Chain A
Amino acid sequence: AQSVTQLDSHVSVSEGTPVLLRCNYSSSYSPSLFWYVQHPNKGLQLLLKYTSAATLVKGINGFEAEFKKSETSFHLTKPSAHMSDAAEYFCVVTLNQAGTALIFGKGTTLSVSS
Chain B
Amino acid sequence: GAVVSQHPSWVICKSGTSVKIECRSLDFQATTMFWYRQFPKQSLMLMATSNEGSKATYEQGVEKDKFLINHASLTLSTLTVTSAHPEDSSFYICSASRAGGVYNEQFFGPGTRLTVL
- A residues contacting B by CB (< 8 A) are 32, 36, 41-46, 49, 51, 90, 94, 98-102, 104-107
Whether A44 pairs with B108 at a CB distance below 8 angstroms is: yes
Kindly specify which of B39-47, B60-68, B70-78 makes contact with the partner chain: B39-47
Whether A43 pairs with B43 at a CB distance below 8 angstroms is: no
> Is B49 positioned at the interface, with any CB of A under 8 Å from its CB?
yes
The number of chain B residues with a CB under 8 A from chain A is 23
Whether A102 pairs with B46 at a CB distance below 8 angstroms is: yes
Min CB gap A92→B, angstroms: 9
In the assembled complex, the Cα of A90 lies from the Cα of B32 at a distance in Å of 22
Min CB gap A72→B, angstroms: 19
Instruction: Give 19 pairs: A residue, B residue, CB < 8 Å, sorted on A.
Output: A32-B103, A41-B111, A43-B6, A43-B108, A43-B110, A43-B111, A44-B44, A44-B93, A44-B108, A46-B108, A90-B44, A99-B102, A100-B32, A100-B97, A101-B46, A101-B49, A104-B44, A106-B42, A106-B43
In the assembled complex, the Cα of A41 lies from the Cα of B103 at a distance in Å of 28
Q: Which chain A positions have C-beta within 8 A of B104? A: 98-100
> Is B113 positioned at the interface, with any CB of A under 8 Å from its CB?
yes
Interface residues of A, dominant DSSP: loop
Instruction: Using A51-B103, A100-B97, A102-B106 as known contacts, say yes or no to A90 and B49 having CB atoms under 8 A apart.
Output: no
Min CB gap B71→A, angstroms: 14
Question: Would you list which residues of chain B between 65 and 109 have a CB under 8 Å from chain A?
Answer: 93, 95, 97, 102-106, 108-109
In the assembled complex, the Cα of A49 lies from the Cα of B102 at a distance in Å of 13
In the assembled complex, the Cα of A36 lies from the Cα of B93 at a distance in Å of 14
